[in-house]
């Protein structure tokens, strides 16, 4: 998959965990953005975030917050929705209305880490039902 923000940059697949708890994430080596499929989101825990911090990246490029983002997973040019998880008003995430994947910019990942992971994940998964 290509990065949503960086022109022509291929996301790198990183795996973390073991056995049934394995998490596969797609990371942009340039902007540090992360793509998460919904089933991967449910497996996130502290170990995930600790591991992420160990990943070395190149220079971070400034991102334009206003550009429209398209899902890297869906082929039809599906535009991502901006969502605010109920309990975390300051957090804005981009999610695909079709495949329910999530895009986390670098700063967003850090904010996610600063809140209760389980609460956040429950909140994100509940977005679906709120329509």
Contacts with Zn ion by CB under 5 A lie at 3, 5-6, 28, 30-31, 33, 71, 73-74, 96, 98-99
> In terms of CB distance, is 42 or 98 closer to Zn ion?
98
The Cα–Cα gap between 49 and 53 comes to 6
Are the beta carbons of 95 and 80 closer than 8 angstroms?
yes
> In terms of CB distance, is 7 or 130 closer to Zn ion?
7
Chain position carrying tokens 């495949």: 99
Instruction: Tell me the closest approach of the beta carbon of residue 87 to Zn ion, in angstroms.
Output: 24
The Cα–Cα gap between 64 and 54 comes to 26
Are the beta carbons of 123 and 130 closer than 8 angstroms?
no
> In terms of CB distance, is 28 or 41 closer to Zn ion?
28
> In terms of CB distance, is 53 or 81 closer to Zn ion?
81
**How many CA within 13 A on the CB side of residue 62?**
2
Instruction: Tell me the closest approach of the beta carbon of residue 9 to Zn ion, in angstroms.
Output: 5
Per-residue tokens: 74: 């869906």
Q: Based on C-alpha coordinates, what's the Rg of the chain?
A: 14
Instruction: Tell me the closest approach of the beta carbon of residue 61 to Zn ion, in angstroms.
Output: 7
Instruction: Tell me the closest approach of the beta carbon of residue 59 to Zn ion, in angstroms.
Output: 11
């Amino acid at each position: 998959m290509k990065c949503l923000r960086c022109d022509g940059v291929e996301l790198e697949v990183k795996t973390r965990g073991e056995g049934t708890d394995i998490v596969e994430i797609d990371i942009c080596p340039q902007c540090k953005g992360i793509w998460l499929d919904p089933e991967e989101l449910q497996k996130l825990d502290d170990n995930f975030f600790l591991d992420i911090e160990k990943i070395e990246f190149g220079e971070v490029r400034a991102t334009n917050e206003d550009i429209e983002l398209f899902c890297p997973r869906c082929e039809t040019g599906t535009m991502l929705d901006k969502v605010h998880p109920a309990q975390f008003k300051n957090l804005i995430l981009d999610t695909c209305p079709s495949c329910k994947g999530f895009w986390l910019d670098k700063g967003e990942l850090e904010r996610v880490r600063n809140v209760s992971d389980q609460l956040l994940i429950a909140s994100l998964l509940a977005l679906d039902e709120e329509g």
